[in-house]
Amino acid sequence: MTDLSGEMPIDAISFKHLKLFESIGRLKSVRRASDDCNLSQPAVTQSLAKLEKIIGTPLVKRHASGSYLNAAGEIFHARVARFSVQFEEALRQFGVDAEPRSVAARLLRSQVRALIAIVEAGSFTAAADQLGLSTATLQRGVRDLELNLRKPLFYRTASGLIALPEAIELGRRLKLCLQEIDWGVRELREGDSAGPARLVIGAMPLGGNYLLASVLDQFLAREPRVEVVIRNESAMEMIRTLRTGDVDFIVGLVPPEAEADLESVSLARTPFSVVAREGHPLVRAGRVTRADLAACDWLVGGPGSRRRACFERIFADGPQPRAPIATSAVPVIRQMLLASDRLTLMTSYELRFEGRGLGVVPFGPLDERPMIGVTMRANWLPTRRHALLIDLLRQSVPGLLTGTDAPTVDLAA
């Protein structure tokens, strides 16, 4: 985790600190929390004091009737409670034999960080370099984690230890758990002199970039201490990075089918059209058949994209056109369309911003009418800044779609 305060890193917060603080907030008593965690009251008090020092603000008010969370404590406790529930669920999904809460109590943050680093880096050597540890130290931490879990995480091959699929999934889930603590601290430090907070947003090509760009100046005017990192990859890669927590949410075409671990906020329906350069013979034709389309070369989206799925449905039971290039890169698509007789699919929202020099082929209407919106992990709790940016995106859509030259786009209900 990043050092946000310039003084004490978030990694200094141990799982023990979190467990004790969760108990204090839930039970409203240091004494009852000490009983709940089988520790002395002085130990619980010292742990709370260290947690407050790391975060940089008091979290609990002490009264004769008990210990109560203050406003900052309520904010952070909500994140810690989510962390605890998700942590135990991750262990349950991994298949630990004992009660997940008792297993969680045995784990150290350093052990969990080691697993996450190995899963992300792909090897013990790279993970050790990333964490600033020796390979032997990292291996020792992983062995301790396996002993605490009482289940193997790796199997040995001729080239070394390889993470089991179940271990990779466990690492992904635990990384999302730790993000709750990261975001909780960020929420508490919004007004201090720490460095800028970072939001990592995925922007789907093509329309996602324009929708996101339309609100960034307004967002940064209201949140000048935020750094917004925008990632652009294929649809499948965007969804993968969302699931691993490497992006906070995605702006662009929402997935065609609901998935249990994802949810979307739909902002507008934006149908696909077949598109070519303005002077293309099919643009000037009065009526175009599927055979006419199949006679042309195509630019298609990557596997798993809405564009690719729509293309495959058009030619599902007929002649197949040549489609040697799969890309979602806007400069490549524009250049290759303008310089040739190739065809592609673009949504009405994309044509609104990339339609100069391009024309719609009179074929259709196509059944595919995808939604543009925001996709996030299910049960994700956005920070105040995340919520503000999403609200600005929602507000911006009607204004972006006005104008007599704008292709028809239906606002989502």
Cα(338)–Cα(276) distance, integer angstroms: 8
User: pLDDT truncated to tens, each residue of the chain (413 aa)?
Assistant: 444 444 456 788 999 999 999 999 999 999 999 999 999 999 999 999 999 999 989 999 988 888 999 999 999 999 999 999 999 999 999 999 889 888 998 999 999 999 999 999 988 999 999 999 999 999 999 999 999 999 999 988 877 788 999 999 999 999 999 999 999 998 888 755 455 688 999 998 767 888 898 899 999 999 998 999 999 888 888 999 999 999 999 998 888 776 889 999 988 888 899 999 999 999 988 889 999 999 999 999 888 788 888 999 999 988 899 999 998 877 888 899 999 999 999 888 888 878 889 999 999 888 777 888 999 999 899 999 999 999 999 998 876 654 434 444 454 54
Q: Which CATH class is domain 10-186?
A: mainly alpha
Domains 10-186 and 196-269+371-411 share a fold: no
Q: Would you say 76 and 59 are in contact if contact means Cβ atoms under 8 Å apart?
A: yes
Expressed in angstroms, the distance from the first to the final Cα of the chain is 39
Q: Which CATH class is domain 196-269+371-411?
A: alpha beta
Longest CA span, the chain: 84
Mode of pairing for the β-strands spanning 262-269 and 371-377: antiparallel
Q: Does domain 272-360 have CATH number 1.10.287.130?
A: no
Cα(5)–Cα(59) distance, integer angstroms: 17
Cα distances (Å, whole numbers) of residue 178 to 62, 114, 172: 28, 13, 10
Angle at the Cα of 80 (from 76 to 81), degrees rounded to 5? 115
Burial 119-131 (b: 16+ CB within 10 A, else e): bbeeebeebbeeb
Cα(162)–Cα(155) distance, integer angstroms: 5
Domain ranges in the chain are 10-186, 196-269+371-411, 272-360
